[in-house]
Amino acid sequence: MLKGKTAIVTGSTSGIGLGIAKALAAQGANILLNGFGEYESAKAEVAALGVKVAYHGADMSKPDEIAAMVQACEAELGPVDILVNNAGIQFVAPVEDFPVERWDAIIAINLSATFHGTRLVLPGMRHRNWGRILNVASTHGLVASAQKSAYVAAKHGVVGFTKAAALETATTGVTVNAICPGWVLTPLVQKQVEDRAKAQGVSVEEAKKTLLAEKQPSLQFTTPEELGALAVFLCSPAADNMRGTAINMDGGWLAQ
Ligand code: NAD
C-alpha cells in the first residue's frame, strides 16, 4: 500500500517508533530512522522487510539538526511523504522541584520538534498534494497525571498543534493526526517500572501489575505492533478524511 513512499520516523531506534517504522516498511515504505539508541540492529530489522532504510542521528531538541535530517532524507530516499513525530522523553517530579533544564528539554523534544518537522515537510507534501503527519502524543495529551507536568503540557500541546495543522491542510491531500497510547512497555516505561519497584520495595513484575491497575483497565500493555497497525491505517486511503483527531489506544484508560 505504501510502496514508493518515504517515511521519517523520529525516535525509532526502539519502542513505539521502531514498531511504527517496521509496520510502515511492511507496507513498502522506505524509512529514515532516527534516535539515540543502537541503530544498526534497528536498521537491519527494517531492511529485512525489503525496503530502503537510512539513519540520521539528529537531536530533536535542535531545529538545525531536524532540518539536516529532512535534507538527508530527501537526498538519500526522496521527498518525505510520511512524517511520524515520535521521539520523546519523560521526567517525573513535582512542579516545585522540576529541574528547569528537564522542563526545557521535554518541551523541545516532545513538542517543538513536532512543529519543526511539520513546518519543514509540509511545503513538499502540499506541492505533491499527499502527505501524512502522525504525531505520537499520549493519553497524557488528553488527561493529566501528577508529577508529569512537563510531559502533560507538551503532549497536550501536541494534540492542540495537531488540530491547528489539520485545519490548515483540511482541503488538501495532507492529513495530520495524533496517536495517544496508554502504557506501552518500552525502555521509557521500563525505567518508570523499575523506579516504582525500588520505591515500593516490590518486584519488577509486581510493579508492572500495579502500574497498569492504576490507569489501564485492560491490565495489558498496548504494544508497538498495535500502534504500528494504527499508523498504517492512518496512512491508508480509508483515513483520507480523518483530520485533527487524537486516537487513544489505551486499554480503556480514558473511558473511566
Ligand atoms: P523509547 O525510549 O523506547 O523511545 C524514544 C525514542 O526517542 C528513542 O529512539 C530515543 O533514542 C529517541 N530520543 C530521545 N531523545 C531524543 C532526541 N533528543 N533526539 C532524537 N531522538 C531522541 O520510548 P517510547 O515509549 O517508544 O516513546 C516513543 C513516544 O511514545 C514518545 O513520544 C512517548 O512520549 C510516547 N508514548 C509512550 C508511551 C509508553 O507507555 N511507552 C505512552 C504514550 C506515549
Prediction ipTM score: 0.99
| CATH classification (class only), 6-182+223-251 | alpha beta
pLDDT of residue 203: 97
Q: Rounded to the nearest 10 degrees, what angle do helices 113-128 and 63-76 cross at?
A: 30
Residue-wise pLDDT tens digits, 94-146? 999 999 999 999 999 999 999 999 999 999 999 999 999 999 999 999 999 99
Report how far residue 61's alpha carbon sits from residue 57's, in angstroms, rounded to the nearest whole number: 12
pLDDT band at 220 (very low <50, low <70, confident <90, very high): very high
pLDDT of residue 188: 87
| Every domain of the chain and the residues it spans | 6-182+223-251, 183-221
Residues with CB under 6 A from ligand 1: 11-17, 34-37, 59-61, 86-89, 109-110, 136, 138, 181, 183-184, 186-189
Judge whether 55 counts as a catalytic residue. Answer: no
Q: Rounded to the nearest 10 degrees, what angle do helices 224-234 and 15-26 cross at?
A: 50
Task: Tell me the CA–centroid distance for residue 136 and ligand 1, in Å.
Answer: 9
Task: Tell me the CA–centroid distance for residue 155 and ligand 1, in Å.
Answer: 12
Average pLDDT for 48-52? 98
Catalytic residue among 55, 151, 183, 253: 151
Nearest atom within ligand 1 for CA of residue 155: 34
Task: Tell me the CA–centroid distance for residue 127 and ligand 1, in Å.
Answer: 30
Stretch (H or E) spanning 129: none
pLDDT band at 169 (very low <50, low <70, confident <90, very high): very high
Average pLDDT for 37-65? 98
Average pLDDT for 31-43? 97
pLDDT of residue 62: 98
pLDDT band at 243 (very low <50, low <70, confident <90, very high): very high
Q: How many CB atoms lie within 10 A of CB 75?
A: 9
The chain-wide mean pLDDT, for the chain, equals: 98
SS3 labels along 4-44: CCEEEECCCCCHHHHHHHHHHHHCCCEEEEECCCCHHHHHH
pTM of the model: 0.98
